[in-house]
Structure 1
Amino acid sequence: MPTPFETLKQAHAADWQAYVEHRYVRELAMGSLPQEAFQHYLKQDYLFLIQFARAWGLAVYKSRNLADLRQSLDSLKAIVDIELGLHIGYCAEWGISEMDLAELAESKATLAYTRYVLDAGMSGDLLDLHVALAPCIIGYGEIATWIRQQPFTLREDNPYADWIAMYAGEEYQELVSAELRWLNDRLAKVDDGRLKQLSVVFRDATRLEADFWQMGLDLS
């Protein structure tokens, strides 16, 4: 029997596949993704992380018990205190300075997805927010694992090997597992009507994540 989260994915299997197996992801796996596309993605991902931090700040506010509050606060601190610094360092390796990042404007795709997530959290509850974040948190882990399983993946001298390794690594996969446990526990307790509402949130967030990949290819 599928888990509640797997049920959400199955309900929107075509959208999920279009996201996790997007042409951007395939080209990244093969090492053939144009450098400009990856750099554009990295720049926008910096802006995404800032909004992601705001989403976890909202999750702190939306938390109704101490365990959820602590989890949300830990996620917020991890982005602000660790991940943003690591991302800035990684961008520097790709020729993108911190000054470049500070002067960026958000792309339409960045605006669309991040504000959708924040709106889902503001208008809904903590579960709405987690479901809206799931394509990012869980999707990236699944994408990295999928890449490593593909016969066309370039194993040596892939310029994007560090990115793949980060999301396929034990630390990130443990984060994915923890998020799946949280989601499956909460989703198992909702009725069919509520699940349909959350299914729409998941579908839309997944489509917006796919648009984020397309943004990288289009340099838009």
Structure 2
Amino acid sequence: MPLFDRLKASCAPEWSSYVDHPFVRGLADGTLPEACFRHYLIQDYLFLIQFARAYALAAYKAETLPDIRQATEGLKAIVEVEMGLHVQYCTGWGLSEAQMQAAPEADACMAYTRYVLEKGLAGDLLDLHVALAPCIVGYGEIGAGLASDPATKRDDNPYADWIGMYASTEYQDMARAEAVYLDDLFARRGGEGRWPGLQTTFRQATRLEAAFWDMGMTPS
């Protein structure tokens, strides 16, 4: 079984709470209050900044040139592509980059992103990518699941573009590549002795992702 699938199966209740969160269901049927979504978008901008730092840390932690390249490509994708796309998307929701930069980080944003960085600092590349996986691969699962669900509202759904972004071929390819990379790291750095620690990291990261949705449901 691929490592990601094994990790997901090991914390099925937490995973279900994350991917079937009321925030996600609100995106699917279009009932999520727009104030909640704007709050989420602002925090997601701040979240991406910290994820860029995580990829910079991955480059530092890497011990082979292919791993350095993998981390560098991830960093470039966030800084040079994804941030720009996010800012452009947020403009359509009346949010400027200056406004998002000036916003304070929510506790839930700090909790997950600093947890990822701590796991990377204390551990190795495998620990870091397992902590990242609920976000990177999980958003792919959420996007594909919503796009294929007949119950998802297609017409006049203000969140249809968001769903389409994470259901897109480009994002799905990236999520699959991350899952494959997890298997590669586990083969090179793993062994069953690592399993309990990796399972704990993945479960906690999944809980923190669900808490990020909770944060989105309560705009300040």
Q: Structure 1 residue 188: deviation in Å? A: 4.3
Deviations 1:101-156 (A, max 9, x none): 12110000000000000000000001100000000000000001111232321011
**Counterpart-to-counterpart distance in 2, 1:188 and 1:102:** 40
Q: TM-score, normalised by structure 2?
A: 0.97
| Amino acid across the alignment from 2:50 | Q
What residue in structure 2 maps to residue 144 of structure 1? 143
Query: What is the RMSD computed on CA atoms of the aligned residues?
Result: 1.0
**Counterpart-to-counterpart distance in 2, 1:94 and 1:5:** 34
Deviations 1:165-203 (A, max 9, x none): 111000010001111111122224522221111111100
Kindly indicate whether the alpha-carbon contact (under 8 Å) linking 1:187 and 1:195 is maintained by their aligned counterparts in 2: no
**Counterpart-to-counterpart distance in 2, 1:3 and 1:83:** 27
Q: Structure 1 residue 54: deviation in Å? A: 0.3
Task: Give aligned-pair identity as a percent.
Answer: 55
Alignment pair present for 1:212 and 2:212: yes
> Which aligned pairs between 1:188-199 and structure 2 lie closer than 5 A?
188=187, 190-199=190-199
Kindly indicate whether the alpha-carbon contact (under 8 Å) linking 1:5 and 1:187 is maintained by their aligned counterparts in 2: no
| Amino acid across the alignment from 1:197 | G
Q: In structure 1, the residue corresponding to 2:211 is in which secondary structure?
A: helix
Q: TM-score, normalised by structure 1?
A: 0.97
**Counterpart-to-counterpart distance in 2, 1:133 and 1:204:** 11
**Counterpart-to-counterpart distance in 1, 2:149 and 2:172:** 18
Mean Cα deviation higher: 141-150 or 45-54: 141-150
| Amino acid across the alignment from 2:196 | K
| Amino acid across the alignment from 2:124 | D
| Amino acid across the alignment from 1:192 | E
Q: In structure 2, the residue corresponding to 1:198 is in which secondary structure?
A: helix
**Counterpart-to-counterpart distance in 2, 1:48 and 1:40:** 12
Runs of 4+ in 1 over 4 A off after TM superposition: none
Mean Cα deviation higher: 168-177 or 144-153: 144-153
**Counterpart-to-counterpart distance in 2, 1:185 and 1:85:** 30
Deviations 1:13-49 (A, max 9, x none): 1101100110100010101110000000000000000
Kindly indicate whether the alpha-carbon contact (under 8 Å) linking 2:129 and 2:182 is maintained by their aligned counterparts in 1: yes
Kindly indicate whether the alpha-carbon contact (under 8 Å) linking 2:58 and 2:71 is maintained by their aligned counterparts in 1: yes
**Counterpart-to-counterpart distance in 2, 1:5 and 1:161:** 27
| Amino acid across the alignment from 2:67 | D
What residue in structure 2 maps to residue 200 of structure 1? 200
Structure 2: 5+ residue stretches without partners: none
Number of aligned residues: 219
**Counterpart-to-counterpart distance in 2, 1:102 and 1:8:** 34
**Counterpart-to-counterpart distance in 1, 2:174 and 2:73:** 12
| Amino acid across the alignment from 1:156 | D
**Counterpart-to-counterpart distance in 1, 2:67 and 2:126:** 11
Alignment pair present for 1:123 and 2:134: no
Kindly indicate whether the alpha-carbon contact (under 8 Å) linking 2:136 and 2:175 is maintained by their aligned counterparts in 1: yes
Q: In structure 2, the residue corresponding to 1:158 is in which secondary structure?
A: coil
**Counterpart-to-counterpart distance in 2, 1:6 and 1:187:** 13
